[in-house]
Amino acid sequence: MTLAAAGRSRMQSPHSIEADDVRQAVRRTGWLSVLSALAGDALGPALQRPGRHVACPVHDGRHGDGFRLFADVDRSGGGICATCGAYPDGLALLRWLFRWSFPEALAQIASVLGLGSGPSAMVTPVRLRVAPSFPRSIPEKGDPARARLALRRTWLQSLAPQDPRAAPLRRYLASRGLAAALLDPRVVRLHPALGYWVQDADDRPRCVGRFPAMLALVADRDGRPASIHRTYLRADGTGKAPVPSPRKLMAHAGPAPLAGAAIRLFPAGPALGLAEGIETALAVRAITGMRVWACVSATLLRGFAVPSGVERLTVWADKDRSGAGEAAAAVLQARLGNVLDVRVRIPAEAIPATARGIDWADVWLRQRPLGQVGSATA
């Protein structure tokens, strides 16, 4: 029976037929090729030395080289860590490594083996090109290698938006009138309990709590993973976490500067929109159907690098009391206006007396027709 057929009969047996199909296919190909495809970055040293001890790919390895893949890994797919425990086969190993559910792991392996995709399939997560071992959960500051490790660890611990455990993310977006179904799990995910760090009086890092956090992959001007944007949320997802700065950008670890970077929420097309925030970009998508990228800040918006194939750019600028959003949009329009069609849209409403500004996410929440709420500059 195929995976698709198994999916149609999942009410009788939710996983057994899919697991049998996958295991039978793995017996023909071996686990090494599957593990290399799905976890080559994380398991690189262990894959090169089956049966030999290396640093654990999940903790920082400060307790010594306590991890190894079994000598018969091509047959079993398993491994063991002296700290984390034993994982007898490839399914158990991948579930531990990526925090995948059983159906997620099956779907990922099936995609590598060319078995097609069932209803539980998800897109293979982006694997950041970084070192295979992770540091402890402490602030990533000053050391590029440490920053790369922190990025990888954070991403590997995250959940797809559709995962049942990602309810805080879906609830948060719903409170903003946005659907999590719009999210590409290769770009936006949820960390279930991310540490929030501050500097104490002695300038030492201190974790003041753990919160669900919306993660968004920031790509450099060439589309390579460069950083992760975090939005800390309340435990129930009803709003942002009660912390001084609920939105934070992790330390940049890419080979190129962050100038020109963006969160690529949708594939680019001839017409592309830009906004500062993720919620603003998703709101414009909901209003207009346009593909919109989030630039994180007015500074990155000002220096945005246009990808090939884009002919028309629409900047959905924030309307701030400081004028920073409109100024950044104007700079971008002046810089790129000679090479492509650049338009700027600014909310028409006045900034509420108690607010620092208004953006298109606020406009979307008011649910008014687009033609009544925006102005355009050529």
Condensed to tens digits (0 to 9), the pLDDT of residues 37-86 reads: 777 767 877 887 889 898 888 865 454 578 999 999 989 999 999 888 89
Q: What is the pLDDT of residue 313?
A: 96
For residue 176, count other CB atoms closer than 10 A to its CB: 18
Look at residues 98, 113, 128 and tell me which one is the last residue of a structural domain: 113
Domain that includes residue 50, residue range: 3-113
Q: What is the pLDDT of residue 312?
A: 95
Q: Tell me the pLDDT band of 14, cut-offs 50, 70 and 90.
A: very low
Same domain for 34 and 93?
yes
Residue 138 lies in a domain: no
Q: Is 310 exposed, middle or buried (0-12, 13-18, 19+ CB in 10 A)?
A: middle
Residue 339 lies in a domain: yes
Higher pLDDT: 315 or 134? It is: 315
Q: How many domains does the chain have?
A: 3
Same domain for 152 and 207?
yes
Q: Which residue has the tokens 């997620």?
A: 104
Same domain for 294 and 236?
no
Look at residues 113, 130, 157 and tell me which one is the last residue of a structural domain: 113
Both tokens assigned to 180? 């999590």
Q: What is the pLDDT of residue 189?
A: 92
Q: How confident is the model over 226-262, as pLDDT tens digits? A: 899 999 999 999 999 999 999 999 988 656 678 889 9
Q: What is the pLDDT of residue 83?
A: 84
Same domain for 159 and 103?
no
Q: What is the pLDDT of residue 181?
A: 67
Task: Indicate the average pLDDT of the chain.
Answer: 80
Same domain for 281 and 350?
yes
| CATH number of the domain where residue 93 is located | 3.90.580
Same domain for 232 and 153?
yes
Provide the Cα torsion 300, 305, 310, 316; round to 10°.
Answer: 20
Q: What is the pLDDT of residue 122?
A: 36
Q: What is the pLDDT of residue 41?
A: 64
Quick one: what percent of the chain has pLDDT higher than 70? 80
Task: Report, as an integer, the average pLDDT of 343-358.
Answer: 93
Same domain for 167 and 92?
no
Same domain for 233 and 324?
no
Residue 232 lies in a domain: yes
Residue 263 lies in a domain: no
Residue 125 lies in a domain: no
Q: What is the pLDDT of residue 230?
A: 97
Q: Among 66-70, 75-79, 108-112, 158-162, which is the least confidently predicted range?
A: 108-112
Which of 303, 314, 317, 224 shows the shortest CA–CA distance to 270?
314
| CATH number of the domain where residue 348 is located | 3.40.1360
Helix (H) or strand (E) holding 12: none
Residue 318 lies in a domain: yes
Both tokens assigned to 361? 């996410």
Q: How confident is the model over 263-320, as pLDDT tens digits? A: 999 999 899 999 999 999 999 999 999 999 999 999 999 999 999 899 999 999 999 9
Same domain for 7 and 105?
yes
pLDDT at 372 over 60: no
Task: Give me the helices (H) in the chain, please.
Answer: 3-8, 16-29, 31-48, 73-76, 90-98, 102-113, 144-156, 167-175, 278-288, 298-302, 324-336, 360-366
pLDDT at 11 over 80: no
Same domain for 10 and 104?
yes
Same domain for 235 and 288?
no
Residue 123 lies in a domain: no
Q: What is the pLDDT of residue 132?
A: 28
Helix (H) or strand (E) holding 51: none
Q: What is the pLDDT of residue 46?
A: 85
Same domain for 279 and 362?
yes
Residue 283 lies in a domain: yes
